[in-house]
Amino acid sequence: MKVIICGAGQVGWQIARHLSGEKNDVTIVDNNPDLVRRATDTLDVQGIAGFASYPNVLDRAGARDADMVIAATHSDEVNMVTCQVAHSVFAVPRKIARLRSQSYLDAIYSDLYRRDHMPIDVVISPEREVAEAAMQRLAFPAAFDTESFLDGKARLIGLQIDDECPVVNTPLRQLTDLFSTLRAFVVGIRREGTLFAPEPGDQVFVGDECYFLATNEDVDRTLEIFGKERKKQDRVLVIGGGNVGLAVAQALEKRVDRIHAKVIEKDRKSAEIAADVLERTIVLNGDGLDPALLSEANVERLSAILAVTDDDKTNMLAAVRAKSMGCGMAISLVNDASLAPLMAPLGIDAFINPRATTVSSILRHIRHGRVRGIYSIGDAEAEIIEAQVLSTSPMAGQNLRDIDFPEGVLVGLVQKPNGTIERPKGGTRIEVDDILVMFSLSADVAEVERLLQVSIDFF
């Protein structure tokens, strides 16, 4: 597959990394030569320095025979014009654009993106992706990380193991025997900063960060086994009333189960806009770090605080302050993934990385069956890969125990063609069209791709 990625920032770079790793023909375009050079030096991609919306630049990037254009520059308008030029001049079959302005995303203007108007096949909104991630974090307050798989029928959960966990020091093999009907599988453990795929004889210890995959029906029972419970989050404070905060507050208002929400926004104009748009949410104008304002918002009685301003450090400090004043749970928006290891020591329960959620969303729309989804764990330490088994795959027709997986790879769940989801065992036979949800350390992703036999012929 020949793909042109417009924008060489973090989102564009990560998408290029995934697609070039699967041996696709990738060209990255950016008007910043330094970013283009960084991409071509570190990835197996071609680079073009120039404005992505210019026809001659797209021509140089190979648009005449490209299969897809992904427009992920910092400008909505450039992304839109790039898709229009790719369609009108070069007849590129598939076009994906990242759009941030809420005006472009309003449902009443959705006809704008028809092929005879502004021909964009998929519109990705980072704000909406963050809002969805926030809703998922609130739905599983015991988890510091969560993501859905198998069309929403299964879930990845990341848990911090504490003294209350009843299965501490119990070998994972023994857990499998004790809970034989449970469709849940521990796929990753982070201990003292190092993430690894556990062996059956490994145990979980206090302080570990444990990742497991489970069907939706078995999530609550699995949480209980690890000493966690799923509490209802009914009082929520959002700090930051800009695009992201507004999207989160609107998503909270749409929840079927009623949630009492408040928003604190420092900028008066943004606070007024939020107050006009939101129907049931109280909007306060002020500094989210101000203890007096937090007290006015009854922070000690809150189920959760979502700190989603455009400044990582403000979000982290607001989360820490709210927790110190009695808030039940703190979720922080963090763009810099290198800050992730600081979350647990600071007492921040969960964090959301907008770039990671955007990349995951774009990758989901790129896949045509086969590799159906990828979710990055931590600072790109590992990936959860959901993929369909092809007839050409070396896995097809083999029992799981006979497949030569690298040490850093574990299969967590298997969905059969009839829709049933199984917890894998050594004797599980992998058939053509089975869908596997796998954990893979980043160093082993290339080998997983070889086992899946994902190639251009199958896109």
Establish if 188 belongs to a structural domain: no
How many domains does the chain divide into?
3
Whether 306 and 377 map to the same domain: the answer is no
Provide the pLDDT for residue 107. Answer: 64
Cα distance between residue 139 and residue 223, in whole Å? 13
Per-residue pLDDT at 20 exceeds 90:
no
Establish if 378 belongs to a structural domain: yes
| pLDDT tens sequence across 115-133 | 778 889 889 988 888 888 8
Whether 343 and 265 map to the same domain: the answer is yes
Cα distance between residue 14 and residue 35, in whole Å? 13
| Neighbouring-strand partners of residue 210 | 159, 189
Whether 262 and 344 map to the same domain: the answer is yes
Establish if 146 belongs to a structural domain: no
The residue out of 124, 145, 174 marking a domain boundary is: 124
Whether 92 and 43 map to the same domain: the answer is yes
Question: Which residues 6+ apart lie within 8 Å of 78 measured at CB?
Answer: 6, 51, 52, 53, 71
What's the whole-model pTM score? 0.75
Question: Which of 13-17, 42-46, 305-309 comes out lowest in average pLDDT?
Answer: 13-17
The CATH number given to whatever domain includes residue 66 is 3.40.50.720
Establish if 133 belongs to a structural domain: no
Whether 112 and 60 map to the same domain: the answer is yes
The residue out of 85, 100, 124 marking a domain boundary is: 124
Give the mean pLDDT of 68-96: 94
pLDDT band at 139; cut points 50, 70, 90: confident
Per-residue pLDDT at 267 exceeds 70:
yes
| pLDDT tens sequence across 84-115 | 999 999 999 999 999 988 788 776 666 777 77
Provide the pLDDT for residue 458. Answer: 41
| pLDDT tens sequence across 197-227 | 999 999 999 999 999 999 999 999 999 999 9
Provide the pLDDT for residue 108. Answer: 66
| pLDDT tens sequence across 314-365 | 999 999 999 999 998 899 999 887 888 888 889 898 888 888 888 878 877 7
Establish if 290 belongs to a structural domain: yes
Residue with the larger pLDDT of the pair 14 and 88: 88
Provide the pLDDT for residue 14. Answer: 85
Task: Extract the tokens encoding 30.
Answer: 């950016």
Q: How many residues does the chain have?
A: 459
Q: Which of 121, 113, 131 is nearest to 95 (CA)?
A: 121
Residue with the larger pLDDT of the pair 307 and 343: 307
Pairing outcome for strands 260-265 and 235-239: parallel
pLDDT band at 459; cut points 50, 70, 90: very low
The CATH number given to whatever domain includes residue 412 is 3.30.70.1450
| pLDDT tens sequence across 144-199 | 888 899 988 999 999 999 888 999 999 999 988 889 889 999 999 999 889 999 99
List C-alpha distances in Å: 54 to 64, 77, 366. 14, 13, 24
The residue out of 356, 391, 420 marking a domain boundary is: 356
Cα distance between residue 80 and residue 72, in whole Å? 10
Provide the phi-psi class of 23: left if phi over 0, else alpha when psi is between -120 and 50, else beta.
left
Whether 255 and 350 map to the same domain: the answer is yes
| pLDDT tens sequence across 226-239 | 998 777 778 899 99
Provide the pLDDT for residue 455. Answer: 44
Whether 329 and 385 map to the same domain: the answer is no
Neighbours of 312 (CB within 10 A): 17
Question: For all residues of the chain together, what is the average pLDDT?
Answer: 89
Range of the domain at 341: 235-356
The answer to whether the CB of 350 falls within 8 A of the CB of 144 is yes
Question: Which of 13-22, 89-98, 250-259, 360-369 comes out lowest in average pLDDT?
Answer: 360-369
Sheet of 143-149, strands arranged across:
143-149, 154-160, 209-215, 184-191, 194-196
Cα distance between residue 440 and residue 382, in whole Å? 6
Whether 318 and 430 map to the same domain: the answer is no
Establish if 196 belongs to a structural domain: no
